[in-house]
Amino acid sequence: MSTTTLSSSAPAHARRPAPFSRLLSGDLPRSRLLGVALWAIFLGLALAPFLTSGARPLNTAATICIYIVLVASYDLLLGYTGIVSFAHTMFFGIGAYGVGLGLSYGEPTWSGAAIGLAAALLLTVVLALVIGLFALRVRAIFYAMITLAVASSFAVLASQLSDFTGGEDGKTFGVPAALGAGFKLFETEVAGRAIDGKLLTYYLVFFGCLLLFLFLLRLVNSPFGRVLQAIRENEFRAEALGYRTMVYRIWANVLAALVAALAGALMALWLRYVGPKTTLGFEVMTDILLIVVIGGMGTMYGAVVGATLFILAQNYLKAAMAGGAELLANVPFAAQALHPDRWLLWLGVLFVLSIYFFPSGIVGKLRGRQPSH
C-alpha cells in the first residue's frame, strides 16, 4: 500500500493539528515545566481582578500584560532577526502619546482615542520606514547608535513641547465613560468584584495584549518568520537563496514598531497618563533588554516568563526584603544586607545569576532540557 493511501486513510482528527496547537501556531512549550509556568501566568493574569484586592496587584498584572507584548515585539527584532535597536521605546511612547493626546482635548470619547491612535500608528510607520531605509544599511553598533540618537531626540522633543505634550510633567487625561471609575456594567457584584470601568479597562488591556502576542507568535512561525531567522543565522546565505533581506528587515522593523505602539496605547489607557519617563525613558529600554535576556532571545515565550518575573521583582522585591530584614533583625549583617534600600543591588545580583545559570535564557534552558518528542 502506498504512502499516499496510508495518509488518506488516516482519520481526519489525526491529520489536523489540535485547536490549541493551531492557536499557538504550532509553537508548543515543548517542556512540561514551561507549560505549567505559562498556564499559571495565563490564569493568574486572566483572573487577577478576582484573585487579588487593591490597586497595586491589579496594576502589576496590567503592567505584566503590556510588557509581555512590548518585549515580544522587541524580540522579533533582536531574537528573530538579529537587529539591535534602541528606538523601540520611541514607538512605545508614540502610541501612548497618540491615545493620550487624542483623549486630552475636548470630551474623552472612543472616536478621539481612535483618531489619536490612527495618527500615532501612521507616524510609527513613517518613522520605522525612514529608520529602516537609512539605518538598516549599516551594521551592528552603527545601527544601534543611530536608533539611540533618534530615540533620544524624540524624548527631548516630547519634553520641550510642553504646551502640546505636557513636557516633563506629562499629561493626565480622561477616558471614555465606559472605562471611568463611576461606570458599572452590573449593579450586583460578580464573584465579589464590582464590574466597573477599572475592571473593563483591565480586560481591554488583557485581551488586547493576548491578541497581539498571538499575532507575533503566528508571525514568527510563518514563512516570513522563517526567513527572518535565516537572515539572523546567515544573511549572505539568505541572499544567495534569492530573498531580499533588506526588505524583510525593514518589514520586521515596521511590524515590531507597530506592535510596540499598540502596547503604548494600552499603557496610556491603563495609566490615564503619558509622560517621558513612563514610555520614552532609556530606563524602559534597559528593562526591555534585561527581560529579553532573562526570558530567552528568539523565544516568544521568553517574553512571557521574563516580563512576569521582572515586573514582580520590581514591585515586590523591596517589600520582601523589608520582611526578611525584620525577621533577621537580630543578625546585624543579614539585616543590613536585606535593607529595602538595597533592592536594586539584589535585583542586579539576581540578573547576573540568571545569566550564569541560564545563558540561553530561562525558556531556552527549559526547552533544551526537555526537547519535544
Q: Is residue 187 part of a domain?
A: yes
Give tens-digit pLDDT for 147-176: 888 888 888 888 888 888 888 888 888 888
CA distances from 73 to 91, 130, 134, 219 (A): 11, 19, 21, 11
Q: Is residue 34 part of a domain?
A: yes
CA distance 345 to 339: 10
Q: Is residue 20 part of a domain?
A: no
Percent of the chain scored above 70 by pLDDT?
Answer: 91
CA distance 65 to 263: 9
Nearest CA among 120, 144, 156 for reference residue 263? 120
Element spanning 274, H or E: strand 273-274
Residue 147's domain is classified under what CATH number?
1.10.3470
Give 247's contacts (C-beta < 8 A, 6+ positions apart): none
CA distances from 152 to 143, 158, 159, 305, 314 (A): 14, 10, 11, 29, 25
Q: Is residue 11 part of a domain?
A: no
Here the cell at position 140 is: 551592528
CA distance 72 to 221: 14
| Structural domain boundaries enclosing 175 | 30-42+55-369
Q: Is residue 107 part of a domain?
A: yes
For every residue of 210-260, DSSP letters joined together read HHHHHHHHHHHTSHHHHHHHHHHH-HHHHHHTT--HHHHHHHHHHHHHHHH
Quick one: pLDDT band at residue 274, thresholds 50, 70, 90?
very high
Q: Is this model's pTM higher than 0.85 or not?
A: yes
Here the cell at position 66 is: 503590556
Q: Is residue 13 part of a domain?
A: no
Backbone dihedral region for residue 188 (phi beyond 0: left; psi -120 to 50: alpha; all else: beta): beta
Q: Is residue 322 part of a domain?
A: yes
| Cβ-contact 33, 365 below 8 angstroms | no
Identity of the highest mean pLDDT range in 40-54, 239-253, 352-366: 40-54
Question: Stretch 83-97: mean pLDDT, rounded?
Answer: 91
Question: Stretch 46-55: mean pLDDT, rounded?
Answer: 88
- The pLDDT mean for the chain works out to 84
Q: Is residue 19 part of a domain?
A: no
Into how many domains does the chain fold? 1
202 phi and psi angles, rounded to 5 deg: -60, -45
